[in-house]
Structure 1
Amino acid sequence: MYNIPGHHHISMITKNASKNNHFYRHILGLRRVKVTVNQDDPTMYHLFYGDKIGSPGTELTFFEMPPAGKTHRGTNAITRIGLLVPSEQSLHFWKMRFEKFGVYHEEITTYANRPALKFEDHEGLRFVLLAANGEIAEHWKTWEKSDVPREHIIQGMGPVEMTVRRLEKLASTLKDLFGYTEVSRSADEAIFQSVEGEAFGEIIVKALDGPSERPGRGSIHHLAIRVRNDKELSYWEDQVKQRGFQSSGIVDRYYFKSLYFRESNGILFEIATDGPGFTIDGNVETLGERLDLPPFLENQRTEIEKNLKPIEE
């Protein structure tokens, strides 16, 4: 049996690509590694932010949907994203930075048994910074030109929080299907790790009754988990099918291959390959500086560009 080596990316909804670009590049200091479009609807931007090359486990991705209304928070949703920073001292740096830029944040506390600082972006998307203290993936590459000092830079994704009505159903999917280890349990919360002892593949599941979340701007669309290659993806496709879930089948996204399925609470998972990655149609120095399209959309470039509003840098 193969193991899941961590998160791959996480995808959200934004109302405005320019404001999104400003927040994630110039306030959070992430690199914009790819400007492309939603391959299923090329009229909307798909933006990727991450480390130097958009390594798996560092990617925050956004679909621009200008009509998006307010998110009505509830259960059966992905409800918070953890981001790892180097140390507890980094949390104090970020608290001051958030105050400087008028970013909503709480006081420094603990979350998932680590020093933490909760904050929200300009659209109410919920995050928490966590002191990594060495818990980072070896393949992550620092973006040297970030606006944030290297000693405090966001390194990649940490725990991802999911809130569901039926905790045991999701727990069974994580443990019995994907081989996650349950490392903590209370009456209404459980913590699972894909790599035991490491934060970069952690999922926190909270139990909550009530109405389901109604998504809008600042909501989370899906979490993608990593597999190393096509062979592993085919293996997991069979496992998902044997478990009784319906999947999209394997889809070639050009930058990676993946499949999608919903678990019993309705949480949408993607399983995505590590490669070929974002340098397949660009070089490291100029990633994210132009609109990149997969080959099957290149012949529509003129029409696609005509329908997209330029992003303010």
Structure 2
Amino acid sequence: MHNLLGIHHVTAMTNDAERNYQFITQVLGMRLVKKTVNQDDIHTYHTFFADDVGSPGTDLTFFAFPGQEAGRDGTNMIHRIGLRVPNDEALAYYLKRLSDFNVDHGEIYEYNGHQVFDFEEEDGQKYRLYSDEKNVGVPAGTPWKNGPVPLEYAIYGLGPIEIKVSYFDEFKTLMQEIYRMEIVQESEDMTLLEIGEGGHGGQMILIKDTATPIAYEGYGQVHHVSYRVADSESLDFWRDRYDKLGMGHSGHVDRYFFEALYTRIGHILLELSTDGPGFMGDEPYETLGESLSLPPFLEPHREYIEAQIKPFDTRQSK
């Protein structure tokens, strides 16, 4: 009844909120649906990119911590973000598009039965673009209708999240026992797990890595991944489940745009988030993400917050 429904969002860290905004919107063609601040550090931007209306499962978000050092890849980290396009033709379109924008990328290859290719953002953040041509499972969202990418090709959701750990067997067991994830494919050093309706919108790729040093967190890396629950009642179920299992957690956190519950499995920060209320409640559809949006408890501090963060122009309707 309260099973996880799929991936909700992924939050990464960037060294430049404005450059990152240009890359995600103008190169990748995802819509900025909310420009706000990190509720736990109001000196830091928190930007939310998603589909046309900010649907859960399409949401890629970024923190821009002032003065943060670059991250160092290694084991015990969320290693790569997956993004979804409708078919193989769309994958080929993006391969050319990223070449035209001089984005570092690999070539198309087959991975776990699907056509994909890997690419990197300027700050080192790693991505993999997945073709949904043979995919069945969690539905994708709606492409950004006024974006720079033709609708038939555009990114419209999050894909499998790749995690590297040295404690491979233990982590895999915990994903099965705690979250009821199911193994759909497995080899000696890779396990593909899924939740909900499965498919690209509900998958975790677990990689065994005992050879490299532990990753050092910084910009160009993923901060956490979140999985979807239906509502507050489901979130309460998971809070009680954590308590029964003796797991530390954040308790129920109201993020205004959704409600959240955080825990850490080894080095990996996992969040559970409600599907609602969503991003459409405080701004008109036509101008989503164009102004600094603050939750009600931060609104009295707007003048101070705006003086602390470097403004940048996100108007699409100008």
TM-score interval (norm. to shorter): over 0.9
Q: Tell me the distance in 2 between the aligned counterparts of 1:193 and 1:175.
A: 10
| Local SS of the residue matching 2:280 | helix
Q: Tell me the distance in 2 between the aligned counterparts of 1:135 and 1:285.
A: 32
| Local SS of the residue matching 2:152 | helix
Displacement after TM superposition at 1:238 (Å): 1.2
Structure 1 segments of 4 or more deviating over 6 A? none
Q: Tell me the distance in 1 between the aligned counterparts of 2:175 and 2:288.
A: 34
Q: Tell me the distance in 1 between the aligned counterparts of 2:137 and 2:50.
A: 14
Look up the equivalent residue of 1:87 and give its one-letter code: N
- 2:292 corresponds in structure 1 to 291
- 1:248 corresponds in structure 2 to 250
| Local SS of the residue matching 1:70 | coil
Displacement after TM superposition at 1:220 (Å): 0.3
Q: Tell me the distance in 2 between the aligned counterparts of 1:261 and 1:191.
A: 21
Q: 2:218 is matched with which residue: 216, 223, 242?
A: 216
- 1:122 corresponds in structure 2 to 122
- 1:236 corresponds in structure 2 to 238
1:160-200 Cα offsets, whole Å, 9 max, x none, are: 00000111222122211111110111111100010354210
- 1:98 corresponds in structure 2 to 98
If the length of structure 1 is used for normalisation, what is the TM-score? 0.96
Retained in 1: the 8 A contact 2:6–2:198? no
- 1:305 corresponds in structure 2 to 306
| Local SS of the residue matching 2:243 | helix
**Residue 151 (structure 1) aligned with residue 152 (structure 2):** yes
Q: Tell me the distance in 2 between the aligned counterparts of 1:99 and 1:312.
A: 26
Retained in 2: the 8 A contact 1:77–1:267? yes
Inter-CA distance 139–199: structure 2 relative to 1 (3 Å threshold): closer
Look up the equivalent residue of 2:235 and give its one-letter code: L
**CA RMSD after TM alignment:** 1.3
Kindly, what percent of the aligned residue pairs are identical?
39
Q: Tell me the distance in 2 between the aligned counterparts of 1:222 and 1:139.
A: 21
Q: Tell me the distance in 2 between the aligned counterparts of 1:112 and 1:4.
A: 22
Displacement after TM superposition at 1:90 (Å): 1.2
| Local SS of the residue matching 1:278 | coil
Displacement after TM superposition at 1:284 (Å): 1.6
Inter-CA distance 114–139: structure 2 relative to 1 (3 Å threshold): closer
Inter-CA distance 220–102: structure 2 relative to 1 (3 Å threshold): same
Q: Tell me the distance in 2 between the aligned counterparts of 1:139 and 1:128.
A: 16
Q: Tell me the distance in 2 between the aligned counterparts of 1:2 and 1:230.
A: 10
Inter-CA distance 67–80: structure 2 relative to 1 (3 Å threshold): same
**Residue 80 (structure 1) aligned with residue 50 (structure 2):** no
Inter-CA distance 29–71: structure 2 relative to 1 (3 Å threshold): same
Displacement after TM superposition at 1:135 (Å): 4.0
Q: Tell me the distance in 1 between the aligned counterparts of 2:139 and 2:209.
A: 35
Displacement after TM superposition at 1:72 (Å): 0.9
1:20-44 Cα offsets, whole Å, 9 max, x none, are: 1110010000100000000011111
The range that moved more, 137-146 or 234-243, is 137-146
Look up the equivalent residue of 1:151 and give its one-letter code: E
- 1:273 corresponds in structure 2 to 274
Inter-CA distance 136–99: structure 2 relative to 1 (3 Å threshold): farther
Inter-CA distance 40–57: structure 2 relative to 1 (3 Å threshold): same
Look up the equivalent residue of 1:269 and give its one-letter code: L
- 2:39 corresponds in structure 1 to 39
Look up the equivalent residue of 1:204 and give its one-letter code: I
Retained in 2: the 8 A contact 1:136–1:155? no
Retained in 2: the 8 A contact 1:181–1:196? no
1:200-247 Cα offsets, whole Å, 9 max, x none, are: 010000011142110111110000000000000000111122222200
Retained in 2: the 8 A contact 1:135–1:200? no
Look up the equivalent residue of 2:95 and give its one-letter code: K
| Local SS of the residue matching 1:254 | coil
- 1:201 corresponds in structure 2 to 202
| Local SS of the residue matching 1:204 | strand
Q: Tell me the distance in 2 between the aligned counterparts of 1:311 and 1:117.
A: 31
Q: Tell me the distance in 2 between the aligned counterparts of 1:50 and 1:112.
A: 25
Displacement after TM superposition at 1:112 (Å): 2.7
Look up the equivalent residue of 1:160 and give its one-letter code: I
Unaligned runs of 5+ in 2: none
Q: Tell me the distance in 2 between the aligned counterparts of 1:124 and 1:244.
A: 36
Retained in 2: the 8 A contact 1:14–1:66? no
Q: Tell me the distance in 2 between the aligned counterparts of 1:43 and 1:310.
A: 12
Look up the equivalent residue of 1:119 and give its one-letter code: F
Inter-CA distance 35–106: structure 2 relative to 1 (3 Å threshold): same
- 2:179 corresponds in structure 1 to 178
